Amino acid sequence: MIMNSNLSAPTLQIRKSNCNCDLESVTALMRELNYPTTINVMRERMEASEDNPKLCTMVAELDGEVVGMVALNQVHSYATGETATQVSALIVSEKHRGQGIGKRLIRSSEEWGRAHGSQVLFLTSGNRVERAPAHAFYEHIGFDKVGYRFIRKLK
């Protein structure tokens, strides 16, 4: 058997996002999950993340292409006294799902949370039928389903 030494496995890198380099890719990922946004809105969000130590946006880059992202927000629970890291967005492009990228983004989120003093990593997700695969993924990688989420729009 002859092996071609020029072949290499795709390289996945999880890194902090950079608004100048990743803006279009992150915007496209947000739109892929039907989150309404524009380039200008995403620029504001990403710049805010870069300037605030309690916020972090990371991207998953596969051979130079951004194929996933996670947005984190550190919060302090008044009720429990714990510092927690909230996953406010987790997206892997549809054509790259099932390859372990989401799991790697969550691992990187855990590392970031620990490094910033968090004791808990949590996320919320809608209860729509189309979210069932995401819910199964969250449980598969070790999240527990706890409680309900109630929201009220402020006018």
Identify which of 115, 102, 114 has the alpha carbon closest to the alpha carbon of residue 143.
102
Domain segments of the chain as ranges = 12-140
Q: What is the pLDDT of residues 59-80, one digit of tens each?
A: 999 999 999 999 999 999 888 8
Q: What is the pLDDT of residues 87-99, one digit of tens each?
A: 999 999 999 999 9
CATH number of 12-140: 3.40.630.30
Residue 88 backbone dihedrals phi, psi, to 5 degrees: -90, -15
pTM for the predicted model, two decimal places:
0.86
